[in-house]
Each structure stands twice: as structure tokens, then as C-alpha cells.
Structure 1
Amino acid sequence: MTWVSPRAMLACLLLAAGAAAAHDADILYIEAHRARAEAPEVRQILTMTPETLALLLADADGGSLLTRHGLDARRDAIATDIWDAMPLASGGLPCVRTAHATAPRQSFVELSATFTCPPGGMRQRFRVLTRLPPEYRVILGSVREGEVPGAVFADATRPEVDVPEGGRGTPLLSRFAGWVGLGVRHIFEGVDHLAFLLAVLLVGGGWRRVLLLVTSFTVAHSLTLGAAALGWVVLDGVQARWVEAAIAASIIYVAVENLVLREHRHRVLVTFLFGLIHGFGFAGVLAGYGLGESVVTALLGFNVGVELGQAVVVAVLLPVLRMVQRRPALHTRAVRGLSIGILAAGGYWMVERALG
């Protein structure tokens, strides 16, 4: 809920250590390599899960698609069903595919193709998406980096896009900064998280107690955010909806406590328990992004962004609340009035989310 505590960073690092590379089943990654702007030869690398490849090839025996023999047996089908369904153009003229190859990796399949292209900017139409469910996307980037926030992508509504020429990848610092920015933006756009934060701070007490509260929340949501992002805990659509409803319930509970309790001795424990739920909510934001093999970068960057965003909120709110606390009558009215408003908002969100 504020700055990144050492314990929060340690929790994220422990969760990330030894984790297998994550790769979202509904995302295809493609990158283009061109030696120089006017060079005729262009090499593309397309990576996807074997399950996605099986869907594209209408292949019931998808398990063999992570073997060299299984891929070689489907070489012609890959050429016609995939590469022919992703025509590449340069300078407004079609490119000619001269070769293609396949390679099984640890958890995904890598397809590569070489094209001869006219000079000019490249553009590609991904007709291949018509044979996949509508939530599938083609991310224009490397599976090693995942979907850097702001990356170009194609989907069912926008199947044709300009293709950036790459090869060197996005610098690690830039990728990390992108995930940090996404975390900060999520806090400022997440009205429910801000409402929970305000409800906790209304009776938070002094700086030391506030630090204890936000540290407990930080450790808790770091644990569940990491577990969900790494795939250790998987929530389907219905479960994710109930997580959002539970976040609304946490707002209601804290607001009611503010109204009926004179002392809040267990507020640290309550904040920790609800922090576990909010962590799954934060993970829902990452669920729409392909982490590729950059799960550690994405997880840590997003978590740092969440903490930075909350730090700004606390830095702005706490001095104001401290001044109000010096006037007991005003503080009582402020806690009651704001808690009633937060309670009403939480009730609305819970009903809306529970009903879907």
C-alpha cells in the first residue's frame, strides 16, 4: 500500500526463484529481423504453445508437437495453414517466403521463416486469427520479453498491423519501467483499491502503525500476486469474478469496522487477510498480458509500480488525516461520513460483481 518494503521484495524474489517460464496459451509472439532498413532478407520467428499450434492445424495429437519428429511430419501443414495465413508485405508489395523451419522448445514451439521483401515498412495481416477463439492475440515481440506494456498487437478486431523490425529486443530497464508504469496506473485507476486504502487510513493512527498496516498489506498481496502470476494458483473466469466481489466485501467490512468499533486492535491482521484477496485482483490485471519468459521482470516491475502508486496516495492522504485527527469532533464526523460513503460504494460493487 506504499513503498516497497524489503520483506515484500524478498517475497517476490522467493516466488520467482526457480519458476518455469510462463507463456500464455492464448498469445502468439512474432518478431521480425532485418539486417538493415533496405535489406531484402527478412526473418520472422513465431512462438506459441503446442496447444495453440494443434488448434491451428486441427490436430488431435497435439502432444507430439513438442518433438522434432512431430513437427517435421507437419512441415507442409505449417507452411499452408500458418505462414500462408500471415502474408507479409513491405513497401506495399508482397514478400516471398523462401524457407521455413520448426524447433521444439521446453514449453513452446518456435516456427521461423525467411522472406525476400521489397524496401519499405513492413505490414502483416494475421488471417490465422480467424481459426482461433476471439480472445487470442498476436504480440509483436519476443517470447523472451513477453508483452511489454504498450506493445503492438493484432487481434480479431485488428488483424493487420505494421511490423516493427527488431532483433536486439527491448532493453531490460525499459521493459521493467513499462511494468512499473502499468502498476502505478492500475493503482490510480483502481477506485476500489483506493477506497480500501482510504478506509484503512481513516483510523490508521500514527506513522508507526500506518507503516505496520501497509507492510502487512504489501507482504500479503505480494504473496498472492506472485502465486497467481507464476501459475501456482490458477483462477478461471468465475473464480476471478468472485475475487472481485470479495475485494468489494473487504471494503464493506473495513468501513463497517470504522463505524461500529472504538478500537481496532486486529486491524493489522485484517489488512493482511484482505491483502491476500487484493493480490489476486492485482494478478487479474497481469492475466491479460503475455509474460513470455520475462515473468520475473513483469512480476517485480508491476509489484514495484503498485507500491509506488500507493506510496503517493499515502503521502498525500496521511498528513491531511493527521491534521484532522488533532480535532476529535471533526475527526469523528469525517470517519463516519467517509466510511458511510465507502460502505455504499463497496455494497454497489459487490452486488454488481456478484451478479456478473
Structure 2
Amino acid sequence: MLNLRLFFRTIVVALALLAWPGTAPAHEVPNETTVLTFLKPEGTTLKLLLRAPMDALRDVDVPVREDGFLDLPRVETPLRHAAQLWITDFVKLYEDGAPLPQPRLVNARVSLPSDRSFTSYDQALAHIRGAPLAEETEIYWQQGLLDIEYEYPIASEASRFSIEPGLTRLGVQVNVTLRFLHPDGAERAFDVHADVGRVELDPSWWQAFYLFAKEGFFHILDGIDHLLFLFALVIPFQKLRPLVVIVTSFTVAHSITLAASAFGLAPGALWFPYLIETLIAASIVYMGLENIVGANIERRWWLTFAFGLVHGFGFSFLLGERLQFAGSHLVTSLLAFNIGVELGQLLVLAIAIPALTLLFRYVLPKRIGTIILSALVTHTAWHWMTERGAELTSFPWPTLDAVALSAALWWAMAAVAVAALLWLFSGLVRRWNGVDPTPVASDRSA
């Protein structure tokens, strides 16, 4: 009898759960969200116009009609709530380094996904302040766009402004397209991620210098392939004279191609980064193999120069993305990035050279240690080279049109000029080293 009652109670509970009104499924976070923004200082007011997809705004009590479309006459209050919940509290603006107070939300409206008014500041402002959508417009919340106009009080339109987008909660990856309209009429465009940190909209020269010096310093420390190349360079040489020549040749070489890329002289084809990454791995393989058979100072410095040209293109991929933050200080930023890279290299060498010296003095004979370490380096880089080479082969061969032939001719002439300079400097290098070019395998003093 007891089991029968328990059975009926279970049935009743199960039916009650099935009959219970369900809640709407949780709104998933979009994988990728794009936010469009304009910033313009005018007198004592800084205007921020922002467009975000409503699909990214969750946990908002949305008024809808019986057919499921937005109830547009009653949507203004939820719009302002969504703006406060997802945008106002997270976008931070600064004037001359000082945070600005909370903005005044002037307008908030729904726009159709087909609207193209955010192509310019004037069109976007006129659209936001224009007539709202007709009440009979049929649009779901997830389909619409939220357009907002903010006003920040500022001391002067001539101040230097910066912004922290801080919109990471709007999606897994949030891209912010930002256009800053300078009081003198110039317009500066940025394409940043929401978690990029503070962006200087009109940086001074020292702000640009600090930013790019820091970028260069940490880029060399984060680039495991560049670090491995440096390590392969110094394994056979711990004395100052050969190291000065080798490191200087690498520095001069990557500075040349880094500058060429910054001024738009590098190929812009999609396959080019894959080619450079493959060649970087190949340069490490070669250096490792040369260490094993016996490194030669005469050959090492000009080979390092040649490979440095390749590594300079590798550095330029990050620099090209970051140059949007240089403002009007392109040359300063390029110089600062180079200085940062050199400081990072010096730090690596300051650690690697004493470590190798101690290893070869107390643990392994120099020749045996050089072979073992170089074999490990070569093995690692060989896998990188084959993997990157496989990705490179997925691209079709480039078309040999007039533009490609012209670019190839330009780079061929540049290569001839560089080769001539290397030949001229080779005598100076010999005199600097003070020894005949002999293999390390037979020269215990190298």
C-alpha cells in the first residue's frame, strides 16, 4: 500500500513539473560582436555616439506585442536601462589622464539592421536625433540595433583624450570600430578589441614612444621563435667581439625591413605572413645545423644579417596592427619599437650568455654542449618549419602581373645594394675580430 501511494505521488509530481510554465532559454553570448563609435569634442562637451547590436544586450525586460515584435511606443525605458546596464558603466573616458564623470544619456533609439547612418558622424547624429521607427514596424529585439548619444563635460576641446572601451561582456570577441574627430577637422580611425586597455586618441610623442617601446620589448620576449633564433646565434660564441658583430648585424637588418613594412613597402598578400613564418623557422634550423658542423664568424655575421631581414618582417606584423595608436608620430613610434626590441634582446643575451658559459665550464665540454643544444633547437624549429610550410602550400601561386613584377624588381635591386654593402663591411668585420675566419670546431678560443 505504501509503495502504491509513493508511485502515485511520483506521477503527480512529474505531471506538475511538466505543466509548470517554462522560462525562456538563457540568451547566449554572441561569438563576435562589433560596436561602432564616434567621439567628437565640441567646446566643453565630448560627444560619444555608439551603435551596438541588441542581440548582445541580455537580461533586459523587453516590452513585446502579442506577435512577438517589439512594442516600440514602450521601448524607450528598457533601452535606457540596457544602455546603463551594458555600456554606460563600462566605457571609461579620460581628459589629460583624468577620468571624466558619468555621461548624460541624451538619446537612445532602435534602428533597423539595414540602417547605414553610422558611415559618418553627421549622419549618425542626425539619425539618432531623428524620428523614431514607426510604431507598426515589425522588428524583434535580437534583430535591432541600439543607437546611443552620450555627452561628457570636459574642460576644453583641445585636451588630450583617451578611452577604455570595456565592452567585453557584449560577446566572446568584441571589436570596437572607433573614429575620433579632432577639433582641427582631422579624423583618426581605430579598430580595437574591447579589452585593449586605454587607447590614447591623440597621443603626445612621449606617450607614443613609451607605448611602442613597451610593445617592442614584450614582443621579443613573447616571440618564442625569435628567442630561439637568438639562442642559436650565441651558443657557439660567448666572447664579446664576435657577439657584437653578430647581434649588430641582426639589429641593423631587422630594422631595415621593419621600417620598409611600416612605410608600406612590404607585400600585402595573404600568403606573405605564412612565408615569413616558415622562413623564420628555416633560419633557426640552419643556425642549429651550422652550430653542429662548426660555426664560422665570417659566415655567421652576414647570414645573421640576411635572416635578420626576414625576422624584421615578422616583427612588422604586430607593428602594422599597432601603428594605428601612433597618432601623428609614425617615425617616433617606429624608433621606439626598435629600441624596445633591442632592450628585449639585450635582456635575453644577458641571461643566455652567462648560463651557457657556466654550462660549458662546469657541466659539458663546449663542443659537446654546442652539439646537444643545437640539435634540440633544430628539432623544435624543424617541426615549426614543416607545419608552417604545409599552411603556406594551401595558398595558390601568386599571379605574375605587372605590379608583382615591379615589386620583385624593386626588392631585387634592394638585395643587390645590400649585398654590396655587406661586401664592403666584410673587411671591417675581419679587422674587428682580429682573426682569420676559422670554424669553431677547430678553434678553441672562439
1:314 aligned onto 2:314: no
Question: 1:340 — aligned with what?
Answer: 375
1:222 aligned onto 2:255: yes
Secondary structure of 2:40 counterpart: strand
Identify if the C-alpha distance between structure 1 residues 235 and 152 changes in structure 2 by more than 3 Å, giving closer, same or farther: closer
Question: 2:192 — aligned with what?
Answer: 153
Secondary structure of 1:203 counterpart: coil
Tell me the alpha carbon deviations over residues 210-269 of structure 1, each in whole angstroms, 9 at most, x when there is no partner: 011110001100001110111022232201101110000000000000111264431111
Question: 2:243 — aligned with what?
Answer: 210
Give me the TM-score of the superposition, normalised by structure 1: 0.60
Work out whether residues 199 and 251 of structure 1, in 8 Å CA contact, stay in contact via their aligned partners in 2. yes
State the 1:339 CA deviation.
0.6
Question: 1:82 — aligned with what?
Answer: none
Amino acid at match of 1:199: A
State the 1:285 CA deviation.
1.3
Secondary structure of 1:234 counterpart: coil
Equivalent of residue 226 in structure 2, options 179, 183, 193: 193
Secondary structure of 2:41 counterpart: strand
**Which protein is bigger by CA-based radius of gyration?**
2
Aligned equivalents of 1:166, 1:187: Cα separation in 2: 23
Question: 2:107 — aligned with what?
Answer: 94
Tell me the alpha carbon deviations over residues 306-336 of structure 1, each in whole angstroms, 9 at most, x when there is no partner: 1110011111112232344556952223211
Tell me the alpha carbon deviations over residues 58-89 of structure 1, each in whole angstroms, 9 at most, x when there is no partner: xxxxxxxxxxxxxxxxxxxxxxxxxxxxx998
1:301 aligned onto 2:328: no
Aligned equivalents of 1:289, 1:322: Cα separation in 2: 38
Tell me the alpha carbon deviations over residues 86-127 of structure 1, each in whole angstroms, 9 at most, x when there is no partner: x9985444279xxxxxxxxxxxx9966878966569999x9x
Aligned equivalents of 1:118, 1:330: Cα separation in 2: 69
Identify if the C-alpha distance between structure 1 residues 335 and 296 changes in structure 2 by more than 3 Å, giving closer, same or farther: same
Question: 1:282 — aligned with what?
Answer: 315
1:179 aligned onto 2:212: yes
Tell me the alpha carbon deviations over residues 142-173 of structure 1, each in whole angstroms, 9 at most, x when there is no partner: 798978xxx8836xxx6xx9999988x33321
Question: 1:49 — aligned with what?
Answer: none
Question: 2:140 — aligned with what?
Answer: none
Aligned equivalents of 2:307, 2:295: Cα separation in 1: 21
State the 1:188 CA deviation.
0.7
Give me the TM-score of the superposition, normalised by structure 2: 0.49
Amino acid at match of 2:249: S
Question: 1:138 — aligned with what?
Answer: 177
1:355 aligned onto 2:390: yes
Amino acid at match of 2:220: I
State the 1:355 CA deviation.
1.6
Work out whether residues 177 and 301 of structure 1, in 8 Å CA contact, stay in contact via their aligned partners in 2. yes
Query: How well do the aligned residues superpose, as a CA RMSD in angstroms?
Result: 4.4
State the 1:351 CA deviation.
1.2
State the 1:302 CA deviation.
1.1
State the 1:353 CA deviation.
1.0
State the 1:34 CA deviation.
5.2
Question: 2:203 — aligned with what?
Answer: 170
Aligned equivalents of 1:179, 1:162: Cα separation in 2: 14
Work out whether residues 42 and 114 of structure 1, in 8 Å CA contact, stay in contact via their aligned partners in 2. no
Of structures 1 and 2, the one with the larger relative CO (CA 8 A, separation 6+) is: 1
Secondary structure of 2:298 counterpart: coil
Equivalent of residue 277 in structure 2, options 238, 244, 248: 244
Aligned equivalents of 1:182, 1:347: Cα separation in 2: 28
State the 1:204 CA deviation.
2.0
Identify if the C-alpha distance between structure 1 residues 235 and 153 changes in structure 2 by more than 3 Å, giving closer, same or farther: closer
Amino acid at match of 1:32: K
Identity %: 29
State the 1:200 CA deviation.
0.6
Tell me the alpha carbon deviations over residues 11-54 of structure 1, each in whole angstroms, 9 at most, x when there is no partner: xxxxxxxxxxxxxxxxx995431544xx4x6388xxxxxxxxxx
Q: Mind listing any 5+ residue stretches in structure 2 that lack a counterpart?
A: 1-35, 50-82, 89-102, 110-118, 130-148, 154-162, 168-172, 392-446
Aligned equivalents of 1:43, 1:208: Cα separation in 2: 57
State the 1:337 CA deviation.
1.5
Tell me the alpha carbon deviations over residues 257-306 of structure 1, each in whole angstroms, 9 at most, x when there is no partner: 01112644311111111001101111111232343543212211211111
Question: 1:235 — aligned with what?
Answer: 268
Aligned equivalents of 1:123, 1:317: Cα separation in 2: 38
Work out whether residues 47 and 152 of structure 2, in 8 Å CA contact, stay in contact via their aligned partners in 1. no
Secondary structure of 2:47 counterpart: strand
Work out whether residues 205 and 329 of structure 2, in 8 Å CA contact, stay in contact via their aligned partners in 1. no
Task: Give matches, 1:14-163, under 5 Å.
Answer: 30-33=38-41, 35-36=43-44, 39=45, 42=47, 90-94=103-107, 138-139=177-178, 153=192
